[in-house]
Amino acid sequence: MKKIILLFSLIVLIGCKSKKPDTTTEAIPEVVTFVRLTSTEVDANLKTKAYQLGKRILMTCNTSKFKPFNNSEATRSVIDNITEEKLSKTCAKFRQRYGDFKDLKLMQIYKDNETRTTIFRYKALYTKAVANKELRVYMNDQSQVSAIKSMDWSDTFERKLFRNTDTDTE
């Protein structure tokens, strides 16, 4: 009986032993909050540019031709990440599921004052009405696209997002 209690105590003691903290240098993303803007609070030229650049990407799905961004339109990371090969793969999926791309409808605009990034939330309209897609176009303070993200539409904007400057398409 004493051996069983001793063995049980030893198992509990080993199970309760705390783990050593992870000493890797992996960065933990910083959580940021955003301020919602009205359409009149945003420069009309910036709104037009965000719309045209976002539409250019999704129109690639209809035409199979993509005019690459230049340095005045997008950051180097976006230019490097948006390749015709990646777009073709994404477009094939989108066309099969949603049909042809029709247009973008601006739904909301947010501002991250810390990074001075303006986020345009567009509802992407397709010929098939099976699902609503969202296209987020992130514009930096130099009026360049700093990220583009495609996802399923949600009526609520997730305010606690991890800072992201990559291009991400579903």
- On whether residue 115 sits in a domain, the answer given is yes
Query: Is 93 within the bounds of a domain?
Result: yes
The burial of 74, by beta-carbon neighbours within 10 Å (0-12 exposed, 13-18 middle, 19 or more buried), is given as buried
| pLDDT at residue 107 in the model | 96
Residue 84 placed within a domain: yes
Q: pLDDT of 42-74, one tens digit each?
A: 999 999 999 999 999 999 888 888 889 999 999
Q: What's this model's pTM, rounded to 2 decimal places?
A: 0.73
Give the count of domains, the chain: 1
Would you say residue 166 has pLDDT above 50? no
User: Does any domain span residue 127?
Assistant: yes
Q: From the centroid of its chain, how far is CA 103?
A: 19
Does residue 54 lie in a domain region? yes
In tens, the pLDDT along 1-56 reads: 656 665 555 565 565 555 555 555 555 555 557 799 999 999 999 999 999 999 99
143 is a domain residue:
yes
Instruction: Find the CATH number of the domain harbouring 103.
Output: 3.10.450.590
For 68-95, what is each residue's pLDDT tens digit?
Answer: 999 999 999 999 999 888 888 888 888 8
Q: What is the pLDDT of residue 34?
A: 78
For residue 14, is it within any domain? no
Which residues span the domain enclosing 147? 30-162
Helix axis angle, 84-98 relative to 44-63, nearest 10°? 80
